[in-house]
Structure 1
Amino acid sequence: MRYTGDIVDCHHHIWRAADLPWLSGPMVPRIFGPYEAIRRDYLIEEYLADAAASGIGESVYVQTNWPLDRVVDEVRWLHEVHRETGRPSAFVGAADLFDEDAPEVMRRQAAITPLVRGVRQQLHWHERPEFRFATAPDRMRDPVLRKNIGTLADLGWLFELQVFPEQMPDAADLVAAFPDVTFVLVHAGMLIGPEYAGQWRSGMAALAELPNIVVKLTGQGTFVHCVDPDLISSVAREVLGWFGAGRAMFGTNFPVEKLWTTMPQLVTTWQDALSHLPPADQHAIFAGTARRVYGLGG
């Protein structure tokens, strides 16, 4: 039976395009392909309209690559948005974890609002330049990064981990080194295509052995630029086989996926893909896991 209960969107964005050089400046190749249609403001009012049409009642904002010298401003802006609208329900911010001063930046963010729950540092690297964000494939071994990740436990923050399948051995080593930090694997491990399936399966299975990592069922349109029910069903089946419903959660990745779909269509496709599961598992994936991991009160 298709899930019809409350939904938490564990991964979405809002933005003012003027704050983001990759939106307001020259076009930069991005992992999700051409993006002219979202080179504009996507503010909380539009997100809330999309969410209301999709049955989403709570949401977690994830950083959108503001310039690193303005990541405190990003949190300050989000705090004002939340004060005026009550949303987003929680924030994942950014900091340059390769910088010795990152702990001070994170403390400044925490002083603005208790709604900051963690940091995303995009560590994915690929031989194709448009898929690349990190400066090298092995940045997870960097001692400054590791020292700064260690400080997340003191803040009670999590780390959003974004890597490709071939980087998962290093990712598993990183996660194992910090058992007191919760890691959230973005976009179900970013399976680019069938040629990476072997690496993805072995890497995901190894990560799932570590109790301090959970996974997001998000971003499955990133490489195919559509809502593919077969892909979504296949990825969900395998991910849940490794992690279980208590360590998996749904998110929209909007407005990026607005490039090829509407939010109601995306949500409905995931509801259909998971409709065979017991009601308790569906509730965990669509709401319960996100509430626990991000400390939501709903």
Structure 2
Amino acid sequence: MNTVDAHHHVWRVKDMPWLSGPMVPRIFGPYEPIKRDYLIDEYIADATSGGITQSVYVQANWPLDQAVAEVRWLNELHEETGWPTAVVGCADLFSPDAVDVMKEQAEFPVVRGTRLQLHWHENEEFRFAVAPDRMKDPVFRRNVAALEDLGWLFELQVFPGQMADAADLVEAVPDVTFVLVHAGMLTDRADETVREWRAGMARLASYPNVAVKLTGQGTFTRRLDPDFIAFVATETLGWFGAERAMFGTNFPVEKLWTDLPSLVAAWRAAVPEPDHAAVFADTARRVYALPEQ
């Protein structure tokens, strides 16, 4: 099996006060078992146990003043071990100097893009951004537009209620690739929730510069739920097609409720066999410019 993990974190507790300090409410629930270092050897063991052969690290909420240090450390790991294969960093995109930070990060060849989490929800435990409409900020928009010159993508993490604003952003910068995190963050199967999610997903899928990650479907159920995964996979592939969809994990968060082989098996069962090559390797290789194996 030649599987690409398009989303993972390697954590150092000392660099993330929210892990080493008092418990802070998080979108994925209590996290005492993962309040520890999760370093590259453990990640490689987890990844290879599930058949994963390449990976993309996505920023893990280091303090923003350490954004360059984060990618420097990851580039060193890449040079030492070959993992991660590529990196998505972070910068304060609401700051006028964000482009300078990203240019400094771009000196490390492993970097492919940036993420600043924008998700906001009526449930305070599900929030990250300070307001639901931060995508309208003019400084933020200028910084996202600057990704075109860097040749970088933007990891888009929003809830369905924010997808209209997200679509406006995507439309405004058609030459920047957006990767929608966690298949649009469906929180439950309630009729109203699903209707809003479907409407937002259909609109975002109408833009060719948006791809989607099949990740994180235990974030709100807090368990491995093959039926929920199958529902999300079927609906999402119907909008985006396999050529714009990719599997990924959210390890080590998902270690709270599953092991990686079980997670991979659930997604492989949910994705039709003819789509496996694209969803489990080809899309991520193209979007993140990963080397052929």
Q: Which stretches of structure 1, 4 residues or more, deviate above 3 A after TM superposition?
A: none
2:209 to 212, 215, 218: 212
Q: Do structure 1's residue 200 and structure 2's residue 197 form an aligned pair?
A: yes
- The equivalent residue for 1:191 is 186
Q: Write the distance in 1 (CA, Å) between the matches of 2:204 and 2:47.
A: 31
Aligned residue runs from structure 1 range 139-154, under 5 A:
139-154=134-149
**AA in 2 matched with 1:107:** K
**AA in 2 matched with 1:170:** D
Of the two structures, which has the highest relative contact order with CA contacts closer than 8 Å and spacing of 6 or more? 1
- The equivalent residue for 1:36 is 32
SS in 1 for 2:94: coil
5+ residue gaps in structure 2? none
SS in 2 for 1:34: coil
Q: Do structure 1's residue 83 and structure 2's residue 92 form an aligned pair?
A: no
Q: Write the distance in 2 (CA, Å) between the matches of 1:174 and 1:78.
A: 29
Q: Write the distance in 1 (CA, Å) between the matches of 2:208 and 2:78.
A: 32
- The equivalent residue for 2:89 is 93
Q: Write the distance in 1 (CA, Å) between the matches of 2:125 and 2:44.
A: 31
SS in 2 for 1:215: strand
**1:202-221 superposed Cα distances (whole Å, 9 cap, x missing partner):** 00000000000000000000
1:6 to 2, 5, 13: 2
Bigger mean CA deviation after superposition, 144-153 or 79-88: 79-88
User: What is the root-mean-square deviation in Å for CA atoms of aligned residues?
Assistant: 0.7
Aligned residue runs from structure 1 range 228-267, under 5 A:
228-267=225-264
SS in 2 for 1:126: coil
Q: Write the distance in 1 (CA, Å) between the matches of 2:282 and 2:166.
A: 25
Q: How far does residue 277 in structure 1 lie from its aligned partner after superposition?
A: 3.3
Q: Write the distance in 1 (CA, Å) between the matches of 2:273 and 2:197.
A: 23
Q: How far does residue 118 in structure 1 lie from its aligned partner after superposition?
A: 0.4
5+ residue gaps in structure 1? none
Count of residues in correspondence between the two structures: 290
Aligned residue runs from structure 1 range 114-193, under 5 A:
114-193=109-188
Task: Give the % identical residues.
Answer: 68
Q: How far does residue 194 in structure 1 lie from its aligned partner after superposition?
A: 2.0
Q: How far does residue 187 in structure 1 lie from its aligned partner after superposition?
A: 0.1
Q: Write the distance in 1 (CA, Å) between the matches of 2:213 and 2:256.
A: 20
- The equivalent residue for 2:15 is 19
Q: Write the distance in 2 (CA, Å) between the matches of 1:268 and 1:152.
A: 35
Q: Write the distance in 1 (CA, Å) between the matches of 2:183 and 2:273.
A: 18
**AA in 1 matched with 2:208:** P
Q: Write the distance in 1 (CA, Å) between the matches of 2:114 and 2:206.
A: 23
- The equivalent residue for 1:45 is 41
**AA in 1 matched with 2:74:** L
2:65 to 65, 69, 82: 69
Q: How far does residue 26 in structure 1 lie from its aligned partner after superposition?
A: 1.7
